[in-house]
A and B are shown apart, each in its own frame.
Chain A
Amino acid sequence: MAGGKLTKKRKNALRLAVFAAGAAFLAIGLWRGEFADVLQKAVRICLECIGIG
């Protein structure tokens, strides 16, 4: 099941690309101050989420 039509080489290349992109995105996001954005939203009751609006 796992593997499908992906060759081992292509699979490893994809993994490397996704790892690099993921790590870069994470670093860019932290540099842009998104941690603070998330924290600010998460420490307040989200009225929309709980159905108050």
Chain B
Amino acid sequence: MPGMHRDRVGRFGPRDPKKSGRVRLALQAGFAALLNGYAAGFAKGRIFTGASKGVCVPVLNCYSCPGALGACPIGSLQAVAGGRSKSVSFYVLGFLMLFGLVFGRLLCGFVCPFGFVQDLLAKIPVKRRKVPEKIDRPARFIKYAMLAGVLVLPALVSAAGGAASPYFCKFFCPAGTLEGGLPLLLADGRLRSLAGALLGWKAFVLLAVVLGSVFIPRFFCRYFCPLGAFYSLFSRFSLYQLKLNESACIGCGRCEAVCPMAVRVTAGKDDGECIRCGKCRDACPAGAICLGFERESGDVSADSGAGT
């Protein structure tokens, strides 16, 4: 095809942003429906109890969502750590490492249902806020603290003889409130009668995250998601990569203007924040960005800019 050439990662060249955006939203909706495919659960106010619930899904998806067919890895990490083994779950960690190695944060960009919710919220036409860098960059470390808490806190409390709750799920996770809490409480009067101050707190957190996501794209992913923090550790060497052809880049900055994660695309350094959504590739007038699984042969030659 004229104006395009292949690199060992994928195809450089101009794209149709509207078409790419529609395809991505359709994929996100499809994955959300697939991961929460037990439709009867929503009507009955019950959760799925089949054997597939022992298998983790690679994204943040509450296992108490009535439709959920698999287990949330963050909830599972805490459940195992706080349970009889009192240690980090090798099963869940191994599972996440393998997914992180292949896909990295592509899972955040295309598969995560809560990421999909945030992308829909970001479509509300309001004036978006650019978070000042001196606040934005340090705040991104909060999600690593969340990850450390998920991995260590239940095991420590459990080992000390206390009852270890899944603290992240209990006090923070907005996905659990949205996907699990709201549908179950709406369908089950007995659960509603048990609701107290904790539900009020979790509803406040959910509301704050929803409002944050309207004004700051991917607000939760940027600052708070422990699973995003985990996958970001694999970004630099995951098999699925984003590549910038620096010789073709014209430095217009459109890629960085459209990036929902405020990644410094043209800096040429993967800081683990990129969710591989492809918005930068679609916005690039020079076709200097491509995404795909890295191949072994061939490389970008210095004079083979896109459009040539």
Contact yes or no, B93 A23, CB < 8 A:
no
Contact yes or no, A42 B198, CB < 8 A:
no
**Can you list 21 A-B contacts with CB-CB less than 8 angstroms, sorted by A residue number?**
A1-B270, A3-B236, A18-B234, A25-B94, A26-B91, A29-B94, A38-B56, A39-B51, A39-B53, A42-B53, A42-B72, A43-B47, A43-B48, A46-B75, A46-B169, A48-B169, A49-B62, A50-B177, A51-B195, A51-B203, A53-B198
Closest residue of chain A to B191 (Cβ to Cβ) is A52
Contact yes or no, A32 B91, CB < 8 A:
yes
Contact yes or no, A29 B93, CB < 8 A:
yes
Indicate whether B97 reaches chain A with its CB closer than 8 angstroms: yes
B151 → chain A, closest Cβ, in Å?
Answer: 13
Contacts of A44 in B (CB 8 A): 47
A50 → chain B, closest Cβ, in Å?
Answer: 4
Contact yes or no, A51 B199, CB < 8 A:
yes
A2's partner among B71, B184, B191, B243 (CB-CB below 8 A) is B243
B64's partner among A21, A26, A49 (CB-CB below 8 A) is A49
Indicate whether B90 reaches chain A with its CB closer than 8 angstroms: yes
**For chains A and B in complex, what number of residue pairs have CB atoms within 8 angstroms?**
188
Stretch from B13-21, B76-84, B140-148, B222-230 that touches the partner: B76-84
Q: Please, what's the 1-or-0 string for B178-221, where 1 marks a CB less than 8 Å from any CB in chain A?
A: 00110011000001001110110111000000000000000000
Q: Would you list which residues of chain A between 1 and 53 have a CB under 8 Å from chain B?
A: 1-6, 11, 14-15, 18-19, 21-30, 32, 34-39, 41-53
Indicate whether B89 reaches chain A with its CB closer than 8 angstroms: yes
Contacts of A36 in B (CB 8 A): 54
Contact yes or no, B101 A15, CB < 8 A:
yes
A19 to B247, CA, bound (A): 33
Closest residue of chain B to A33 (Cβ to Cβ) is B85
User: Which residue, B68, B94, B194, has most C-beta atoms of chain A within 10 A?
Assistant: B94
Contact yes or no, A37 B180, CB < 8 A:
no
Contacts of B83 in A (CB 8 A): 37, 41
